[in-house]
Chain A
C-alpha cells in the first residue's frame, strides 16, 4: 500500500543509542530515516553502498547483532540498543576474507563488494567452516553486475577451507 500525502509529514526526530563498529553512539533520527542513510549521510560511513534503495541488490548489507540485514530496509530507529557492524570495521585490520577477495580478484568495480563481504562475514561469524551451499545462499541475493560471482565464491571457499 502506498500513501501519497500532498502535505509532507512533520517529522519528530527520535533519540537513539546504538553501537556502531564497537562504539556506542547517540544519534537523532527522523522516523523514516533508514539505517543506510544514517550510516552514509549522517555518520559519513560511506563504505556501505546504496545499490537500489529498495531491498533488491544487497549492496547495503551490514550486520545487526551479527545478522546480515539490508540497511536500506532497516529503519535507523529499529537499530536502537543494537550493535551494527559495517565494512569499516572489516576494513581496519588484517582480514582473511578481504585478503582472499584481493587474491582471487573477486571484484571489479568494487561497488557491491562491501555488501558481499558483510554477507559472508555474517556467515563466517556463525560458521567459520561454512559449506559451499551455505556460501552460495549467503551471497546469492547480492547483485554483482561486473561478473565476479565465481571469484567471490572461490574467495569464500578459500576462507572456509582455512578455518578447517
Chain B
C-alpha cells in the first residue's frame, strides 16, 4: 500500500523535510559479499555508439519543421534601468517574427521573486533586456542591433566586501546579504580555546569565480501542439523544468512534456529552468511556430552561472601533538545579482575533523555581477581549500606529517547532529592514496630542489560530502515479446553514465546481458525522478530500478510456474532461463516465456525507499598531489594526482574512474588556471568564451590514479551505493595548493596559482 512519510533530505549542504510517497516495503540491502555478474564490472556505455558516432540528438540538435530562432539582448551595464525601449525597427526587419520584452510580456516572477522574466531594472552585465525571434539566427542577431534602448545608468557594487559595508548600493531591496544576515554555527567556546591553544595558525584564502562551461550551452527548443507544449531542454532536471515552466506560463504541469534524452554536460548550472526555457515557450505560443533559444558561448560566460568567488579566513587552535582544539572560520561568497540558496561553505569546517570548539560565520553576498549557480560540490570545494591548507600549515608549524595530523583528528561521529555515520572508510582512502603517490617521499617544507630552477612538492587534502540520494524516485520495467526488457525512468544522463549503471542494475536482477535491457530516460512521461545533482542519481534511482526489476522477476517466475507446472518457490531465474529446481530439463527461456505471454504483459514497478533515520550518510575521500614548480617561470606542473574515495559500492568501475578524472581535472583548473574576470570598474565580463578563460587542456593534465575503497554502505539504500559525481573535485585544489606550498616553503592561498603569483611569492617580480 502506498503511504506518505516525512523524510529529512539533505541536498548540497541544506537539510529540508519533505513528504514522499513510498509504495510499499523496501528490499533488503544487497549484502556486502554478494556476488554479481554485471554490477561492479566495467560495462562500456550503453549509449556509447550514439554519443561517439554523432547520432545522439541533444537539445541543440532538435530542428522541428518551421522552427524559429530566438536570441537575447543583454544589458551592457552592471546596474541600470531601462528608460526607453523601442523595438519597432527591429520588428520591421524582414524575417523577424516577434520581439519580447517587459513592454509586451506579462510580469513573470523569476529568481524566487527577486526579479521578473523581463525586468526593467538590470542588475548585471548580461541581464536579459529583450528577445528577438526570427526565421534564422543571423536575422535575429541583426535585429538586436535595431532595438533602441536608453539606459538610466545606476551606481553598482561588484565586490563582496564592498557590498556588505554600511551604505553600500543595494543589489536587492532586502539587503546585500542573502537571507538578511550572516549564518553562524558554533559549538563549544572558540575564543577561549584559541586563547588557550598551544599553537595557532591563521590563513586568508581566496578562490575564483569558476565557470561551468559545459560543452553544450544552455538552451531550449519549444514546440506547441494545440495547448500542449513539448520542450527539449539541456537540463539536469526535466521534472523541475516542467514545474517551473508551468508556473511561469500559468498552465497545468500535465500540458508540458520535457525531453532531455542527451545532454552535453551540466555540473550544476542546469539544475533549473532558464529564462531561455520560458522565452522559447512564450515565443513559440505567440508565433505558432517551434522556437529555439540556445546560448552562445559568450552568453555562457555572462549569464549561465558560476561557482562564486570566495574570501575566507580561518584560524586553527591545536595542541603541540597536532590535536585540534578550535576551528574559527569566516567565509564570504560573492553570489552575484541573484541567488536563492547560500553557499554551504560551513560544511567542511563544521564536520570534517573532530574538534570540540568550532565557529563558522558565512554569508552569501549579492553584487552586480552574473548570478551564481550550483557548481559541482558548491561551497565544499572552496571551504576545503581553506580548511585543508590550514591543516597542512599546522602540520608544517609542528613539523609533523600532514597525514598523521589528519589521522589524529579523525571524526568518528557526526558532531553537528550528534549521531553516527552510516559508514566511514576515510582511513582506507588515506591509505590507498598515500601508497599510490608514494607519500613517504614527501620531505618537510620547503621540499628539495630536484634540479636547477625546479622544486618538487607533495600535498594532500581530504573530502567530505553528502551523496546519499533520497526518495522520491520511481521506475517501471516491461518485457517485450522477444524477452528484452525496457526500463523507463524520468532521470537524465548528463554524461555521468547513469544510463549505463541503471541498465546494469536491471540486467543483474533479470540475469540477462546488458544488451537485453533498453533503458529510456530524459522524458517527463516516465516515472518521476529527482534532479541529477548532489551526487544522488544512482543512489536515488538505482534502488527504484532494482525494485522494478525484482517485481518483474517475480512476475516471470509466477508465469513460469504455471507453464512449467511447478510451485513459484521452486522456480529459479538464472542466465536468462527459468528452471524448476532439481529438474534441469524443465526450463523455459525468458524470451520463450514472454513470447507466449505477449507484449508488455510482464511488468514491474519500483520506488526508492526511505533513508535510514538517526544516521548521517556521507561520502569520503582523500587526494594526494605531486607537483613541480619552475622557479624561473613560476609555472606549476602537476605530475600526478592519486584520488581515493569511499562512495560505497561501485556499480561500474570504468565510469567511476571517469567521474574521478572529471572532478580532478575541473579541480586542477580551479587550482591553476581558471579565473572568471570581471572588470572592477564596469562589471564587464572580460573572458568571453574559451580564449581568455583557460579550462584545462590535454598538455596540463597529470597522471590520475582513480582508486575506490569500494566497501558497500550497510544501510544507505538497498544497493549500498553513494554518489561519486561531486566528491572528486572537492579535495583537488587544496591538495595542489598544499603541494605547491611544500615545494616552495611559501604558501599561496589566492587561487588560481598562476605563474605571476608564484613569481610574486618568490619575490622575483613586484
Contact = CB atoms under 8 A, between A and B. Distances in A.
Given A108-B265, A108-B496, A109-B264, A48 B697 contact: no
A4 B263 CA distance: 35
Given A105-B654, A110-B262, A148-B661, A140 B697 contact: yes
Contact of B51 (A33, A110, A140, A143): A110
A53 interface: yes
A109 B215 contact: yes
A147 interface: yes
A147 B661 contact: yes
Contact of A102 (B45, B60, B63, B495): B45
A124 interface: no
Most A-side CB within 10 Å, residue of B49, B57, B263, B657? B49
B93 interface: yes
A93 B145 CA distance: 46
B515 interface: no
Given A51-B297, A147-B662, A56 B689 contact: yes
Nearest to A155: B52
Interface in A75-89: 86-88
Given A52-B297, A111-B58, A145-B215, A105 B263 contact: no
A113 B701 CA distance: 18
B64 to A, nearest CB: 11
Interface in B113-150: 136-139, 142, 145-146
B658 A109 contact: no
Contacts of A47: 53-55
B497 interface: yes
Given A107-B52, A111-B214, 18 more contacts: A8-B142, A41-B63, A48-B54, A101-B52, A105-B655, A108-B496, A108-B658, A109-B263, A109-B494, A110-B495, A112-B215, A145-B212, A145-B213, A146-B658, A147-B658, A147-B663, A149-B698, A151-B658
A57 interface: yes
A163 B364 CA distance: 56
Interface in A114-164: 114, 117, 136, 139-153
Given A108-B495, A111-B264, A145-B213, A4 B53 contact: no
Contacts of B494: 109
B756 to A, nearest CB: 23
A54 B689 contact: yes
A98 interface: yes
A80 to B, nearest CB: 20
A47 B54 CA distance: 4
A46 B495 contact: no
Given A54-B297, A102-B44, A59 B215 contact: yes
Most A-side CB within 10 Å, residue of B494, B697, B701? B697
B216 A111 contact: yes
Nearest to A44: B63
B677 to A, nearest CB: 16
Top 7 A-B pairs, shortest CB-CB distance: A47-B54, A109-B495, A110-B51, A91-B53, A111-B264, A147-B662, A87-B54
Nearest to B47: A110
A48 to B, nearest CB: 7
A90 B145 CA distance: 40
B666 interface: yes
Contacts of B699: 136, 140
A6 to B, nearest CB: 6
A103 interface: yes
A103 B44 contact: yes
A135 to B, nearest CB: 9
A25 to B, nearest CB: 18
A47 B49 CA distance: 12
Contact of B665 (A5, A103, A112, A147): A147
Nearest to A89: B54
A145 B48 CA distance: 18
Nearest to B48: A102
28 contacts: A6-B145, A41-B136, A44-B63, A46-B54, A47-B54, A51-B297, A53-B296, A53-B297, A54-B297, A54-B691, A56-B689, A87-B53, A90-B53, A102-B48, A105-B44, A105-B45, A107-B495, A108-B658, A109-B216, A111-B216, A136-B699, A140-B697, A140-B698, A143-B690, A145-B267, A145-B666, A146-B662, A150-B701
Contacts of B55: 47, 91
A120 B60 CA distance: 24
Contacts of A90: 53-54
A109 to B, nearest CB: 3
Contacts of A144: 215
B399 interface: no
Interface string A52-76: 1110110100000000000000000
Given A109-B494, A139-B698, A146-B495, A52 B58 contact: no
A87 B61 CA distance: 14
A155 to B, nearest CB: 10
B664 interface: yes
Interface in A1-29: 4-6, 8
Interface string B155-183: 00000000000000000000000000000
B695 interface: yes
B215 A91 contact: no
B54 A86 contact: yes
A57 B664 CA distance: 20
Interface in B208-243: 212-216
A163 B54 CA distance: 24
Contacts of B497: 105, 108
Nearest to B266: A109
Nearest to B55: A91
B662 A88 contact: no
Contacts of B214: 109, 111, 145
A90 to B, nearest CB: 7
Nearest to B663: A147
Contacts of B689: 52, 54, 56
A111 B215 contact: yes
Contacts of B690: 52, 56-57, 143
A55 to B, nearest CB: 9
A70 to B, nearest CB: 12
Contacts of B701: 149-150
B294 to A, nearest CB: 8
Nearest to A100: B52
Given A102-B45, A108-B662, A113-B51, A145 B265 contact: yes
A30 B135 CA distance: 14
A90 B53 CA distance: 7
B704 interface: yes
A110 B63 contact: no
A107 B51 contact: yes
A48 B61 CA distance: 10
A107 B655 CA distance: 10
B56 interface: yes
B61 A32 contact: no
Contacts of A53: 296-297
Contacts of A49: 58, 60, 215-216, 264
B714 interface: no
B72 to A, nearest CB: 15
Contacts of A151: 658, 661
B54 A88 contact: yes
A136 to B, nearest CB: 6
Given A46-B63, A51-B297, A87-B54, A98 B49 contact: yes
Interface in B691-705: 691, 695-699, 701, 703-704
A57 B297 contact: yes
A118 B384 CA distance: 39
A102 B210 CA distance: 30
A108 B661 CA distance: 10
Contacts of B495: 107-111, 146
Interface string B484-509: 00000000001111000000000000
A45 B48 CA distance: 19
Given A102-B44, A139-B698, A51 B215 contact: yes
